[in-house]
């Protein structure tokens, strides 16, 4: 368990270390490889020159072994021949000037750690042997196409300077390889040093880089855990403007959005509970009254009290109508609050609509001795709106004003057009409201003593529906009220040219 936690905690460190090691090794090896490639020809030339010096030194040693008899190089001393087997890891051929092979000396494996030419192979004279010794120069051909493995030829002279033959090293590949051995060792040492330094430097850089990068990430992780635990006020401290800072800003933005979402969910859940409680309360009272009236009608019917039974049935019918209206209002409000409400947008002659709404309320207002004053200019523009719902809004405002205006009172319906907006005001001379009640007037959950959203004739949802209709049309519905003076409702709607929508 502890080991797994340690691995997870240091996972970035090891990844960064591995990446840096690979990069540095690749860079170092590439540099060494390019250097070796570019210097390979030069190294081979240096090895060839070194071999030439050794060949020349051996030629002088053979020449000092004279004076030679009439047989020339044929009578070389056995000690000298034995000594020749210790000089090169490749076979040595001693021949006279005509190309007759006089001696073939194979290297001793013990002298060269076993890396010598096989004694079963037969060295050959190169075709250019006579020309090479005749030139008086040491001739080396590492890549001969005529003699496999290459060769080296050195002329031999007697004490008087007379050419008496030469000696040949064939093949010459092991001797060249031996001369290149120090270069290879230096390359291997450099390679090992590069690998070691790269690993150590990469680990050091990875430690610094991981500390620099992981430290702020750990702080961010701690803040994210706090947010996940319910502390939605936790925020990441942002320093600089790099990618890590941008990540911190994103986390803070996410935390703010989560906090808003949680708050919205809590509010929605609270509203849902309040809605269920209020709807249950609103339905329970009329249902109980409906049941009571029906039971009373049945009792009166059983006692042959026809008039009382009919009155009870009439009261039950009124309660049923009230219940039906409440259900309709709840359904309409749910439709209006839908994320994608359906509006039937059409050109509406607002002046005609206002006159129609006023005419539909004149009779009821006259019965209550309430005066209706209208100021509806005939020049009002056409409004692009849902005419049915807009009429419902205006009906709600007038009905609400009627319920709260006493006999002898006054209700005014005014309309005007200014600044590309249509403004409709419905004012009454009712009892008015204080500031606290006014702040909750459009809340369908509010049930204050003086609330205008609920009385024995209303469902308490009319103003909530009215504001929802106004906002869906891009407008607003506001209220102003003064206790003892009256209340004014102001509807503002944007005016859109119908031709611009076709």
pLDDT digits (tens, 9 = 90+) for 287-302: 777 788 788 878 888 8
Percent of the chain with pLDDT over 70: 79
> Does residue 258 fall inside a structural domain?
yes
Cβ(383)–Cβ(495) under 8 Å?
Answer: yes
> Does residue 207 fall inside a structural domain?
no
The CA–CA distances, whole Å, from 466 to 134, 323, 458, 477, 495 equal 123, 20, 14, 8, 18
> Does residue 228 fall inside a structural domain?
no
Domain count for the chain, please give it.
3
Question: Can you point out the beta strands (E) in 158-228?
Answer: 163-169
In this structure, what DSSP letter does residue 37 have?
Answer: H
Pick the last residue of a domain from 129, 151, 180.
180
391 and 288 fall within a common domain:
no
360 and 306 fall within a common domain:
no
Pick the last residue of a domain from 180, 195, 214.
180
Give the pLDDT score at 416: 92
CA 323 to CA 283: how far, in whole Å? 7
160 and 262 fall within a common domain:
no
407 and 291 fall within a common domain:
no
Question: Can you point out the beta strands (E) in 352-467?
Answer: 371-375, 382-385, 410-418, 421-428
Pick the last residue of a domain from 291, 318, 336.
336
Give the pLDDT score at 5: 44
> Does residue 170 fall inside a structural domain?
yes
353 and 309 fall within a common domain:
no
> Does residue 137 fall inside a structural domain?
yes
Give the pLDDT score at 342: 67
277 and 371 fall within a common domain:
no
356 and 332 fall within a common domain:
no
Full-model pTM: 0.43
> Does residue 426 fall inside a structural domain?
yes
288 and 358 fall within a common domain:
no
CA 386 to chain centre: 44
CATH number at residue 88: 3.30.450.20
CA 276 to CA 282: how far, in whole Å? 10
355 and 310 fall within a common domain:
no
256 and 322 fall within a common domain:
yes
318 and 419 fall within a common domain:
no
> Does residue 327 fall inside a structural domain?
yes
316 and 434 fall within a common domain:
no
CATH number at residue 395: 3.30.565.10
Residues of the chain short of pLDDT 50, as ranges, are 1-9, 445, 447-456, 498-502
What residue numbers bound the domain in which 169 lies? 2-180
> Does residue 471 fall inside a structural domain?
yes
Helix (H, G, I), strand (E, B), or coil: what is residue 428? strand
Give the pLDDT score at 155: 92
| Radius of gyration (C-alpha) of the chain in whole angstroms | 56
CATH number at residue 298: 1.10.287.130
Give the pLDDT score at 348: 87
**For residue range 9-65, what is the model confidence (pLDDT) as tens digits?**
456 666 666 776 677 667 766 766 666 666 666 677 777 888 888 888 888 888 887
Q: Smallest Cα–Cα separation from 166: which of 249, 72, 235?
A: 72
């Amino acid at each position: 368990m502890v080991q797994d936690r340690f691995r997870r905690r240091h996972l970035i460190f090891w990844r960064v270390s591995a990446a840096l090691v690979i990069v540095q090794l690749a860079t170092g090896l590439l540099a060494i490889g390019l250097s070796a490639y570019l210097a390979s020809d030069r190294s081979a030339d240096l090895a060839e020159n070194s071999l030439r010096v050794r060949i020349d030194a051996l030629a002088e040693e053979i020449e000092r072994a004279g004076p030679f008899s009439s047989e020339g190089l044929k009578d070389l001393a056995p000690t000298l021949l034995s000594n020749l087997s210790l000089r090169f890891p490749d076979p040595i051929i001693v021949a006279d000037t005509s190309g007759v092979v006089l001696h073939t000396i194979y290297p001793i494996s013990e002298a060269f750690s076993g890396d010598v030419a096989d004694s079963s192979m037969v060295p050959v004279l190169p075709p250019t042997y006579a020309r090479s010794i005749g030139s008086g120069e040491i001739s080396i051909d590492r890549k001969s196409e005529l003699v496999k493995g290459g060769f080296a030829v050195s002329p031999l002279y007697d004490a008087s300077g007379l050419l008496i033959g030469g000696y040949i090293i064939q093949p010459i590949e092991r001797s060249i390889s031996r001369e290149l051995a120090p270069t290879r060792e230096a390359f291997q040492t450099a390679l090992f040093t590069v690998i070691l330094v790269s690993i150590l430097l990469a680990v050091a850089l990875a430690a610094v880089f991981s500390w620099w990068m992981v430290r702020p990430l750990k702080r961010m992780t701690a803040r994210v855990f706090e947010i996940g635990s319910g502390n939605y006020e936790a925020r990441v401290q942002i320093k600089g403007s790099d990618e890590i800072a941008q990540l911190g800003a994103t986390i803070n933005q996410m935390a703010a959005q989560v906090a808003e979402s949680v708050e919205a969910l809590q509010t929605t859940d609270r509203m849902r509970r309040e809605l269920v409680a209020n709807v249950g309360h609103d339905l329970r009272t009329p249902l109980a009254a409906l049941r009571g009236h029906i039971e009373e009608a049945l009792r009166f019917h059983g006692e042959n009290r026809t008039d009382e039974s009919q009155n009870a049935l009439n009261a039950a019918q009124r309660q049923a109508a009230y219940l039906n209206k409440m259900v309709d209002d709840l359904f309409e409000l749910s439709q209006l609050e839908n994320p994608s409400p359906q509006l039937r947008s059409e050109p509406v002659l607002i002046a005609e609509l206002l006159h129609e709404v006023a005419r539909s309320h004149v009779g009821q207002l006259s019965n209550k001795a309430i005066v209706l004053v209208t100021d509806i200019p005939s020049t009002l523009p056409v409004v692009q709106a849902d005419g049915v719902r807009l009429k419902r809004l205006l009906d709600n405002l007038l009905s609400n004003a009627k319920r709260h205006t006493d006999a002898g009172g006054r209700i005014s319906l005014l309309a005007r057009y200014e600044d590309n907006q249509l403004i409709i005001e419905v004012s009454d001379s009712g009892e008015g409201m204080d500031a606290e009640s006014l702040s909750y007037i459009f809340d369908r959950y509010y049930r204050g003593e003086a609330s205008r959203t609920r009385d024995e004739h209303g469902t308490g949802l009319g103003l909530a529906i009215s504001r929802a209709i106004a906002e869906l049309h891009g407008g607003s519905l506001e209220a102003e009220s003064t206790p003892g003076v009256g209340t004014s409702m102001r509807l503002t709607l944007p005016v859109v040219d119908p031709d611009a929508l076709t």
